Chain A
Amino acid sequence: MSVTCNAQDSLIVDRLSARLGNFHLREISFRLEPGQVTGLLGHNGAGKTTTLRLIMGIVRKDSGQVRLGGFDHQLDEREFKRRIGIVQEEGFFYSGMTVAGFIGFVSDFYCDWNEDLSQHLLQTLELPKSKKLGQLSKGMRTKVSLVAALSHEPNVLLLDEPTSGLDPRARIEILKLIQQTAHRDGTTVLFSTHNLHEVDQIADRVIVVDRGRILADESLSALRNSNEASWNLEQYYLELVS
């Protein structure tokens, strides 16, 4: 029987646990629906980056499951990753490669790479193809990562603090692109952030993590509708974590 996956499949994270030194991520579970933007909210060390790395298999889990359609993130590693695009927050690499060289290198790994989309994104985000990655600002490098993550038209887009340290213009451009990717193309988006305003601005749903546990997993529109008009995300978050 062949395993398949289509654009309508949800990303299922089921009781995912991992211990990293003193930090313990405890039985994280959620289900991400296509076309939905989900904000993974929490303060420093809450477990946001670890959750994203566990999904991608960079960090080894102790227990639990991650599935996208028929694909398990460990058993069907390559097929699973072919359907995921990720932008990591930390550092950058291959500073000697040009933007075009880096995109070319990444494109070789995806059989469904959309060259037209890649060129369109490079143009829209005003990325200089011949410039070396080491000469780019943090915002530009994030944009390059985003082009690499989006050009193979992934089912799921994982973003680890994509706007951290960016100037307002780059931040607005990236948030707009994330929202467009989810709502227009039906991509499932999970982005981690400290910024409550960003979640309020573009997310359809919020998952609050604290000390390796999920404190809340709610639809933002449901939260707004079921509370008073004065309800705001900041107050809600502070009440949860305090």
Chain B
Amino acid sequence: MNIFRLIAKDLRLQSYFFLPLVALEIAGYLAYILQMPSHIPGVAFGLLHGVALIGDFLICFRTMIAEEKNRALMFIKTLPVSTAEIVVAKFAVNLLLVCLNTGLLLAFWEGGRALGWIELSPHVTAYLVAAGLTYHCLNNAFFVMLSLVFSSERAVWLPFPALFVLMSVILNFDRIKIALHLEILVGLLQRDSLLFLTLLWIVIAGFVMTCCQSLRYKRVFA
């Protein structure tokens, strides 16, 4: 029950921020898309996810870093709640807002297509929704983990080296696959995309568990 109380508190506090954020994302998206050549397939949809990616970060920033900065987390820690409840509630509210944010952007895209404003592919399918939500939840959960385990200042800087590592992994993926004998697993994930999404949700669960464990050893909970 404490988890739901903490989630309700965050939803109440973020209610003034969330809709302006979505409106700003859509306005920003439209401002860019009007300047782009519409014939490049996939770019317009990719840009929509780019905008949602900024949303992922800002949602974490609002719910996590701002609360850390004004010492509200330290106050929460004085209430009769366990560290695990605080961590799970933080992840839950973030994932909820990210799903809502991504869902609204996808609804905007599909609505635009239905009304004839957007004449580009792809048509939003159930799989695309599931994949979009999973990628954005993973992205947001990564930020939340960083801001819980480290201080907010470090959480802002850490994604940069992580981005370079990720780019190196993508560029050298074939070599890494051979070196780590991952051919069978990669083949399996390529054939079964739902299994791949499940694996990403396991990674998100791993982030939550990492936070629950590491916060027990954090010197000051703030």
A binding-site residues for B, Cβ under 8 Å = 20, 53, 56-60, 77-79, 81-82, 84, 86, 88, 90-97, 105-106, 108-110
| Contact between B78 and A58, CB atoms less than 8 A apart | yes
| Contact between A109 and B80, CB atoms less than 8 A apart | yes
Interfacial residues of chain B within 77-92, with CB under 8 A of chain A in the complex? 77-83
For residue A61, which residue of chain B has the nearest CB? B219
Alpha-carbon distance between A105 and B67 when the two chains are bound, in angstroms: 16
- Pick the contact of B80 from A59, A78, A92, A93 — CB < 8 Å? A78
- Pick the contact of A105 from B9, B70, B77 — CB < 8 Å? B9
Name the B residues within 8 Å of A79 (CB-CB): 80
For residue A20, which residue of chain B has the nearest CB? B219
Instruction: State whether A93 and B70 are in contact (beta carbons under 8 Å apart), knowing that A20-B219, A105-B9, A109-B5 are contacts in the complex.
Output: yes
Query: What's the tally of chain B residues with a CB closer than 8 Å to chain A?
Result: 25
For residue A59, which residue of chain B has the nearest CB? B220
- Pick the contact of A58 from B2, B80, B222 — CB < 8 Å? B222
For residue B5, which residue of chain A has the nearest CB? A108
Name the A residues within 8 Å of B32 (CB-CB): none
For residue B70, which residue of chain A has the nearest CB? A93
| Contact between B220 and A90, CB atoms less than 8 A apart | no
Please give me the 4 A-B residue pairs with the lowest Cβ-Cβ distance, nearest first: A93-B72, A81-B80, A82-B80, A78-B80
- Pick the contact of B219 from A60, A84, A92, A108 — CB < 8 Å? A60
- B123 at interface, CB cutoff 8 A: no
Instruction: State whether A91 and B79 are in contact (beta carbons under 8 Å apart), knowing that A58-B222, A60-B218, A109-B5 are contacts in the complex.
Output: no
| Contact between B70 and A91, CB atoms less than 8 A apart | yes
Cross-chain pairs A/B with CB under 8 angstroms, 12 sampled: A53-B220, A56-B78, A58-B74, A60-B217, A60-B218, A81-B79, A81-B80, A88-B75, A91-B70, A92-B70, A108-B5, A109-B2
Name the A residues within 8 Å of B218 (CB-CB): 60
Alpha-carbon distance between A106 and B9 when the two chains are bound, in angstroms: 10
| Contact between B9 and A93, CB atoms less than 8 A apart | no
- B16 at interface, CB cutoff 8 A: yes
| Contact between B82 and A78, CB atoms less than 8 A apart | yes
Name the B residues within 8 Å of A90 (CB-CB): 71, 74
| Contact between A91 and B13, CB atoms less than 8 A apart | no
- B221 at interface, CB cutoff 8 A: yes
